Structure 1
Amino acid sequence: MVAYLIFFLLNNYLIYFQGWPGPINFIKHHEWFGFLPLRKPLSEDIINLGLIQFLGLFFILLLSIIWATITKDRSIRDDAKLWSDFSAYIIRAAFWAVFFIGIVDAVISFLRVEDLLSLTVGENMASQLGKSSFRGTYVLYPMFIVGGFIAYRSRNIDFIWLALLVVVAEFIIVITRFIFSYEQAFMGDLVRFWYAALFLFASSYALVTEGHVRVDVLYASFSKKAKSITNVVGCLLLGIPLCWTILLTGMWNRGSSLNGPIISFETYQQGYGMYVKYIMVSFMIIFALSMLVQFVSYALDNIANLRGEEGDTYKNEDMVDSETIPNIQTIG
């Protein structure tokens, strides 16, 4: 499941950013499995790329079988911990990335609106930084690499600091507007950017700590076994399909709701705001990715409960000390 998810995202990048044909177009080109031929056949120079993507479907399956074979003595709860740790890493990396992106892009936007950017970096670079594609490719996207490195070194997710930054950014708007009569579009953009990240990235964090508000009618009275069955069914029939629906509908073609803004480096209409609208769209991808991985982990952990494996419902220690977080539930 997770392997094919990563393969899907990798293929999406190769198809729409690197010009690879994709496994489906490769199949259509050869008219396999009853598919109708493409209106425009694939050129010879990219057929081999399509073959690599097509074979990747079977390679992922083979890799999964090999992994299952060599880890057959591994407990299901250990697998649950592995995927929960992976979900935690995704969120940590995204957290640090949006922190740096917000700071860097806000500074660039401030310098542009005050006509200081050309004095700082030169006329040519200032002109390039005014293009969302250049700024995104060479300035903002590398922040995800920085975030990934810091996330690898750091084991904590400090959502409280991101929440504080949202408050500070909003407080600065209030002070500058009502005391100094100064306000620019990028200031509001920064608040929305960080708040959207806080809301979406915290979802898998809240799932693993059982911090989501839950309206319980029957669940609270269930036995531990019944709760585990309910959680497994909920993950398999509701949680995981929801995440796949977000990804498939949003990334199926070039003009889909998620692919379109990212490919075109879409920005807000005002010219001197932050150039992060397309990055905010990518928050939905990060949300679906982290939640799907966490749902897999949650399902595996509850299966471990049903099998009678030692331990209790796993709380990811890399994310939070579960003893310090209250369980937020509304029992109906």
Structure 2
Amino acid sequence: MNISDLLLKLFGWLSISLVVAFLIDNVMIVGFNFPGAFSIFSNFSLEGLLEFLIYIIIASITFFIVRKSNSNFRSNSQLLHNLNIYLIRSFFWIILITGLVDIAIAFMRVEKIFEFFLGKEISSNFSRPVFVGMYFHIPLIILGFIIAKFTKTIGFHWLSLLIVASELLIVITRFVFSYEQTFMGDLVRYWYAGLFLFASAYTLYEDGHVRVDIIYQGLKEKTKNLVNCFGSILLGWSTSIVIILLCFYGKQSIVNSPVANFEVTQQGSVGMFIKYHMAVFLAIFGITMLIQFISYFFESIADYKNEKGKRIIETSTSH
């Protein structure tokens, strides 16, 4: 492997591995009150040193694996894309199952069904977001990752259909049965947010984003590949990194604070306890887009170098 190929691969893989280290560090800071990896430069502590070593170890492992690997850019791109597909598929199952379970809990909580069967003392737990999050949401998240391992389809078409069905159910219950609750709208917003933010990375892979194209289509194939390479980094990579940093930088960040407090909407117990999930959606969007942009970066290099197995994308007239 020549030095330029090594540096390009290292850039892509280190970008992802250091984000993984950053997420681990974030859990240690928010969940276990660690001081932060870079606190050792201002106020040395063993906890800070441990966090800093996590970055060093993960970066070193990444360097060693990339240095020893003989895989080409196209196989690296496909590997990252497959990882992204698994993550997106997992998140689809997570919001599907969690949405159905949480709306069932919200319905039984609002209509006092829990109180009828379980008594007032036990049923009061279902009004606590921490209880629902710890004993229902977290197991369902794990279940979603397991189900995704054994399924092949991403499921966005089904999620779109479920959103339409949910809206239809709201209309029927409101105008036919005069019944409406906050949690019904919460479910639609929850699924719609997931559909939009989770599908973005896959849409990028399929070249399905709508764009106003003035110059690109008239360029030579080699020039297009270079534009894709630089665009993936200058626009895609940089934007994704900024989103991830905004989501997780500090305990009071837009993701850390809601998740740490199991934050819910102002409607409280009459709605679904999924507001903190929707904060995480922003981080998932940033992470999956970062992975896909690095995959696209590798694929563009592979196309530029005329590596075998070039993917033919069907162009839509709507682009």
Q: Please give the TM-score of this superposition, normalised by the length of structure 2.
A: 0.91
Q: Give a deviation string over 1:72-112, Cα, whole Å, max 9, x none.
A: x2111100011111111110110000001100100000001
Count how many residue pairs are aligned between Structure 1 and Structure 2: 304
Alignment-derived partner of residue 191 in structure 2: 194
Shift of the alpha carbon at 1:330? 4.3
Alignment-derived partner of residue 184 in structure 1: 181
Alignment-derived partner of residue 28 in structure 1: 42
Aligned CA distance change for structure 1 residues 328 and 129 (closer, same or farther; 3 Å): farther
- Between stretches 89-98 and 115-124, larger displacement belongs to 115-124
Shift of the alpha carbon at 1:216? 0.6
Alignment-derived partner of residue 11 in structure 1: 25
Aligned CA distance change for structure 1 residues 103 and 327 (closer, same or farther; 3 Å): farther
The answer (yes or no) to whether the contact 2:247–2:282 under 8 Å persists in 1 is no
The answer (yes or no) to whether the contact 1:213–1:328 under 8 Å persists in 2 is no
Alignment-derived partner of residue 169 in structure 1: 166
Q: Does 1:153 align with 2:157?
A: no
Shift of the alpha carbon at 1:25? 2.0
For 1:1-332, list aligned pairs within 5 A: 1-30=15-44, 47-71=45-69, 73-271=70-268, 272-313=270-311, 327-328=315-316, 330=318
The answer (yes or no) to whether the contact 1:215–1:329 under 8 Å persists in 2 is no
**Aligned amino acid, residue 156 of structure 1:** T
3-state DSSP class of the match of 1:216? Answer: coil
**Aligned amino acid, residue 57 of structure 2:** F
> Partners of 2:120 and 2:315 in 1: how far apart?
55
Q: Give a deviation string over 1:34-70, Cα, whole Å, max 9, x none.
A: xxxxxxxxxxxxx433222111121122111111122
> Partners of 1:150 and 1:280 in 2: how far apart?
21
Q: Give a deviation string over 1:6-56, Cα, whole Å, max 9, x none.
A: 1111111111012222212233213xxxxxxxxxxxxxxxx4332221111
Q: Please give the TM-score of this superposition, normalised by the length of structure 1.
A: 0.88
The answer (yes or no) to whether the contact 1:250–1:256 under 8 Å persists in 2 is yes
Aligned CA distance change for structure 1 residues 256 and 113 (closer, same or farther; 3 Å): same
- Between stretches 130-139 and 192-201, larger displacement belongs to 130-139
Shift of the alpha carbon at 1:213? 0.7
Q: Give a deviation string over 1:176-218, Cα, whole Å, max 9, x none.
A: 0000000000000001000110011100010111111121101
Shift of the alpha carbon at 1:249? 1.8
Aligned CA distance change for structure 1 residues 28 and 122 (closer, same or farther; 3 Å): farther
Alignment-derived partner of residue 34 in structure 1: none
**Aligned amino acid, residue 293 of structure 2:** F
Aligned CA distance change for structure 1 residues 328 and 133 (closer, same or farther; 3 Å): farther
Q: Which stretches in structure 1 are left out of the alignment for 5+ residues?
A: 31-46, 315-321
- Between stretches 7-16 and 179-188, larger displacement belongs to 7-16
Shift of the alpha carbon at 1:283? 0.4
3-state DSSP class of the match of 1:214? Answer: coil
**Aligned amino acid, residue 192 of structure 2:** Y
Aligned CA distance change for structure 1 residues 144 and 328 (closer, same or farther; 3 Å): farther
**Aligned amino acid, residue 130 of structure 1:** S
Q: Give a deviation string over 1:287-316, Cα, whole Å, max 9, x none.
A: 1111100000000010011112112137xx
3-state DSSP class of the match of 1:231? Answer: helix
The answer (yes or no) to whether the contact 2:29–2:251 under 8 Å persists in 1 is no
> Partners of 1:125 and 1:26 in 2: how far apart?
46
Say what the alpha-carbon RMSD is for the aligned residues: 1.5
3-state DSSP class of the match of 1:65? Answer: helix
The answer (yes or no) to whether the contact 2:228–2:297 under 8 Å persists in 1 is yes
Alignment-derived partner of residue 36 in structure 1: none
Alignment-derived partner of residue 35 in structure 1: none
